[in-house]
Each structure stands twice: as C-alpha cells, then as structure tokens.
A and B are shown apart, each in its own frame.
Chain A
C-alpha cells in the first residue's frame, strides 16, 4: 500500500522517504519542484529542449542521490536547488555548438554572483507560489503576468472586485511569510 504524502510534509522528510524508495514522496517532490527546476534551467540554458533534459536529470539525481542528503545540514529545498544547479551545469557543458564569440563591448548583464542570487531568489519565489492555494495563486498570476487590471481580473474570474483585492492581499501576505528569509 502506498503511503500518503501530506501537504505539510517538509521537503527534507520527502527526500528521506525518497531515499527509502518511497515513490509517493518522490512524486510529491516532483510536483513541488518541477516548475522551479524547469524555470531555473530555462534561465541558465536558454533552450527548452536542454532545460527539459536538465529537469529529467535533476530528478533522476534526486532519486539516486537522496541518500547523500543530510537533514542536519539544512532543509531540503536548498539541497534540491544544488542538485538542479549541478544538472544544469552538466547540461551546459554538454552543449555541442561552439560558444558565442566574446562581445567587443563590456556586457551590461549582471556578473556571476548577481546572477546566482537572482536565480536563487526566482527559485524561492516560484517554489513559494506552489504553496499558495489555487485561488490565491490564480489572482497573483493574473495580476502580475497577464497584464489584466484588478477590475479585469474580477470580470475574468467572475468574482467581486473586493474579493480579488482581499485574495491578492492575503496571497502577498502568505508569500511574505514563506519568503521571510528573502525579506530580511
């Protein structure tokens, strides 16, 4: 009989259960992190096909390498982030086409430390979004990335404007709780 995975089960507990061959725990980790890993891989690799490969390699590594996780060293999220980053670096090294020629002018893009920090922040934000209830996540996604105004979100969802605002505020507050570390 398969074990049940409660929503409040921590990432670390899921990794430990994955180590013991618990497929439900592994699938719960996949559902929590697949989008975040894919987003990270897309940002780093800039190619959907290779990003898909990186996601697959990440979770293969999670399955095979869960025994290397040490809960006393920290929570599970950063461990999965490190596994994903390694898979992405491997995928990046494996690319067959020649590197792009170095530009003559100095790049305006952020340097490696800033990029790493931005990647980690985006990872945490996207992971935190997965923690919201579907109704809260929907209003956030519509408000931030659909281009709709709050009135248009209200019309689109068929709920009163006040409810949209209440939900949006509650969702932001929940995200603030989840992202406490980033907000310090």
Chain B
C-alpha cells in the first residue's frame, strides 16, 4: 500500500491559513478517494461507429463466447466419463473443440487457437495452443495461460515462450475443471508485479 504523503512536504510553509486549510481539505479528499484506475486496453478508446449497438453488442458477444466456452468445458467433461472408459484414444492429437483467442494491449495483433482434445485414460484433457504474433520475450520472461472466471485468473494451465513470434504449445486441463468461462495468457517476468494480459478468449 502506498504511504500517505505528508501535506506539509507537498505545499511548504508559506501559505496563508485560509489557503492552507482549503488545500489540506483537497489533500484529504485525494487520500480518501485513492487513485483512479487505469482503463483496460479494451476501453482505452471510445467505441466505434454506432455506440449504442457496438457497446451493447460486446457484452452479448462476450456472453455468447462464455456460453460457448462453458459448453465446451461441459462437453469435454462429459466426454471424459465416456471416453475414459474406453481403451486408449488413438494415436496423435485430435481436437474435439476449438476456441479462438485474440490479442490485447501491446500484443493486439496476436492471436491463438486452443484445441481441446479428448480425455486421456486419467481423465485429463490434452490442449494444444497454437499462438501467432506474440512479441518475443526478454530473457527470463515467459507467457502463462490461465482459466478464468469473470475475467479473473483461477487456474494456471501452463507456461511457455515463443520462437519467431509463433508457438504450438501442448498443455493439459483436468477433466474435472468446471465453472470457468474463459482463458487468458499473461506476460510474466521473474519478480515482476505486473501481469499484462496479452491474449484472451
């Protein structure tokens, strides 16, 4: 938590009593209000051509995407019980569901496809994440993928780096995963206290 600034240090000693009291009241209001939040990249610019339509359209689109994701997770969880009882699931990776991710912030041009495979004999779901256009990382940094609920990261799925801005990353999702509504990828640095989202469903 940020330390409360010292009013006297901010304004000095040469104010009239009236002005001093007035500014000190503002000082107290600033301390009480706290900092205004930074707008997320998706809200940094005003909406497009038809604000009433596009602004309402986005939550609907997001809600639709969430439903699709929830349906996908429910589907693979259901298939988990079915397929796990069978002997093996064939050679190689075969996606039973595919989801798209789009870039955010400094990685706005990036994209990714999450391919969800059928459950293995332990009930885990193989994922293959095909990433395009993610910026190269500094030494020691990495990307991390999370399952989210209402935009908050809930469960880590795995970490990866990219070579030549593209990568195909194998991951695993427990077949018991329930209640999630999205995925994000963040950029992480050792000891870093920021976790910018670079990809989101």
| Partner-binding segment picked from A31-39, A68-76, A101-109 | A31-39
Contact B10 A63 (CB under 8 A): no
| Partner-binding segment picked from B41-49, B76-84, B108-116 | B41-49
In the complex, whether B90 has a CB less than 8 A from a CB of chain A is no
Which residue of chain B lies nearest to A27 when distances are taken between CB atoms in the complex?
A: B46
Give per-residue flags for B23-47: 1 if the beta carbon is below 8 A from chain A beta carbons, else 0: 1011101111111111110110011
- Distance (Å) between the CB of A5 and the closest chain B CB? 12
In the complex, whether B191 has a CB less than 8 A from a CB of chain A is no
In the complex, A39 Cα to B27 Cα: how many Å? 19
Contact B43 A55 (CB under 8 A): yes
In the complex, A55 Cα to B47 Cα: how many Å? 11
Contact A122 B33 (CB under 8 A): yes
Instruction: Evaluate whether A30 and B46 lie within 8 angstroms (CB atoms) in the complex, with A146-B2, A169-B10, A176-B22 already known.
Output: yes
Contact A125 B51 (CB under 8 A): no
Contact B46 A26 (CB under 8 A): yes
In the complex, whether A156 has a CB less than 8 A from a CB of chain B is no
Which parts of A141-172 form the interface with B (CB within 8 Å)? 141, 143-147, 149-150, 165, 168-169, 172
Contact size range, B: 35 or more
Instruction: Evaluate whether A60 and B23 lie within 8 angstroms (CB atoms) in the complex, with A47-B151, A126-B33 already known.
Output: no
Contacts of A176 in B (CB 8 A): 22-23, 25-26
Contact B36 A35 (CB under 8 A): yes
Contacts of A173 in B (CB 8 A): 19, 22-23
In the complex, whether B156 has a CB less than 8 A from a CB of chain A is no
In the complex, whether A50 has a CB less than 8 A from a CB of chain B is yes
- Distance (Å) between the CB of B45 and the closest chain A CB? 8
Residue positions of A touching B, CB distance < 8 A: 23, 26-27, 30-31, 34-36, 38-39, 42, 47-50, 52-53, 55-57, 59-60, 63-64, 118, 121-122, 125-126, 129, 140-141, 143-147, 149-150, 165, 168-169, 172-173, 175-176, 179, 182-183
What are 9 A-B interface contacts by the 8 Å CB criterion?
A: A23-B51, A49-B150, A52-B40, A57-B59, A59-B55, A126-B36, A144-B31, A168-B10, A176-B26
